[in-house]
Amino acid sequence: MSASSEMLESAEPLALSPVAVARLKEAWAKQLASGHTAEEKGHGAADNPSWTADEQMLIERIRTETAEANRNNVTRTEAYRNMYFRTPELHWALLAHLVSRNGGWNMTDLQGEWLPRLLTEEQRRDVFLFLERANALIFQDAYPQLLLYQWSRVLGRSLFHLLPAFGVSRFMLPVWKLFWRDKDSALLTTALIVNEQNYIESRVVRNEYFQKRVLHTLFFGLQSLLQLNGVLFPYGSGGGKGACDGEDGEGLQLAGLILEDFRDLHERIEFGKRLYAMLFGIPRVFDGARCFAAAVKHTGSRSDYAALLYEDVRHEPPRRIYEEKLLGGRLRKGASRIYSPALQTAWKDHPVEPADQGDWFHSVDEVLPYFHELPLPRNFELTNEYGLMLSKLELAVLAVQRGESPVPGNGNSEDGAKPSI
């Protein structure tokens, strides 16, 4: 709390322009009053006669580039990183890059030191599919938007009339048009947060398979209990691979927030807004996290940001009986580092299946409250809290090993079911 308060003293809070929001409100209302989406009017096809041959070629190029970068969490995370450093006015790209890193770390945790001792192989695969699906669908929807902006810059004219070709919600068209004119990064980032969380709401979060096998399981409750559903931004070096040192040389420093209930759409959106406000509104966090993003290529292993704590290759086979490694959130003297594999070691690429069609945007009143403010979180320095979270997880493993707690179940007695994704 003290560290958070100190950094807040130099904060530069982000603001949403009431005038710009009023313009968006009017544009959204006109869209909804028309009664039809662009796709329903026939303007979503790549062979739309109103588009030139060059535009249709660009559409195919963007689709191909998006598909190639959507192979796995590592390729997606790298694509976001490259996009931000090419076009730094796209704040959302840096936010997405750092959140995507966290998604990759959560994926590899499933094959790392502790979770294989708490969950069955089937349970871990279900959680991976859930994380991968959400990660991939957000990228599939957002990355073409970023590429269209990039190409608009190159060609010197707005290309956002092509958004329907990629199934992008009508919600985003006025936003991009306004951004093209005013370059209001805060407004665009807020809109992208609202859009992407709504995009995955019915396609992933409300998906029957994931509801039953992941979101309603004891594992997901355990994750919340142990506060493992946090998003961390390294802003000081933990002996990582080229990471930046903190200003005072204190080593590993982590800023972030804990999401209490992933199932709640409103909470996810407000969580994303607070992460954004923290990242771009607190200079020390921004400078450190941006430097980390630039210096350290994402592998999926937590050793990327804390190489003194984690190792991405096992130097000895795992023991059948787990022996405690941590003391006060730090490695005990003589203990081997915590195993955290790279993504390519942990999981094979999973094909991105087509997303359900349809536009989530039906009401201006439902989205407008998200555009009132970008509040700074009061508590966000998690370095010490992170050590406590690790200790809790290790204690859970030790408890299961002693037979004091059952292995978390998946809440589903049916075997062999496959996700409808």
Domain presence at residue 359: no
Q: What percent of the chain has pLDDT over 90?
A: 76
Averaged pLDDT for residues 50-78? 96
What pLDDT, on the 0 to 100 scale, is given for residue 141?
A: 97
Residue 225's pLDDT band (cuts 50, 70, 90)? low
Other Cβ atoms closer than 10 A to 159: 21
256: closest CA among 370, 74, 131, 383?
A: 383
Per DSSP, what are the bridge partners of residue 381?
Answer: 255
- Domain span holding position 338: 12-33+55-353+381-402
Residue 7 pLDDT greater than 60, yes or no: yes
Residue 224 has pLDDT above 90, yes or no: no
Confidence class of residue 415 from pLDDT cuts 50, 70 and 90? Answer: very low
Q: What pLDDT, on the 0 to 100 scale, is given for residue 216?
A: 86
Structural contact between residues 195 and 144, judged by C-beta atoms closer than 8 angstroms: no
Average pLDDT of the chain? 89
* Low-confidence winner among 301-305, 337-341, 397-401 (lowest mean pLDDT): 397-401
pLDDT confidence band for 239 (50 / 70 / 90): low
pLDDT-derived band at 410, boundaries 50, 70, 90: very low
Q: What is the CA radius of gyration of the chain?
A: 22
Whole-number pLDDT of residue 244: 63
Report if residue 385 sits inside a domain.
Answer: yes
Residue 192 lies in a domain: yes
pLDDT in tens, 18-60: 999 999 999 999 999 986 544 444 444 445 778 999 999 999 9
With a cut of 80, say whether residue 250 has pLDDT above it.
no
Q: Point out the least confidently predicted range of 152-166, 210-224, 350-364, 370-384.
A: 210-224
Domain assignment present for 186:
yes
* Domain assignment present for 388: yes
What whole-number percentage of the chain has pLDDT above 70?
Answer: 89
Q: Which of 318, 284, 413 is nearest to 7 (CA)?
A: 284
Contact predicate 106/337, CB 8 Å: no
Alpha helices in 110-229 (DSSP H): 115-118, 121-155, 172-182, 185-200, 208-210, 218-225
Q: Specify if 127 maps to a domain.
A: yes
- Give the confidence band of 218 by pLDDT, cuts at 50, 70, 90: confident
What pLDDT does residue 89 have? 98
Q: Specify the number of domains making up the chain.
A: 1
> pTM of whole model > 0.85?
yes
Most confident by average pLDDT, 28-32, 225-229, 402-406, 408-412: 28-32
Q: Taking a C-beta distance cutoff of 8 angstroms, is the pair 167, 357 a contact? A: yes
* Domain membership flag for residue 291: yes
Q: Is residue 411 part of a domain?
A: no
Contact in structure between 329 and 395 (CB atoms under 8 Å): no
Mean pLDDT, residues 293-301: 97
**pLDDT reported for residue 36:** 53
The predicted structure's pLDDT at residue 200: 96
The 10 Å CB-count burial string (b at 16+, else e) for 227-266 is: bbbbbbbbbbbbebeebbebeeeeebbbbbbbbeebeebe
* pLDDT tens per residue, range 181-198: 999 999 999 999 999 999
pLDDT of residue 328: 85
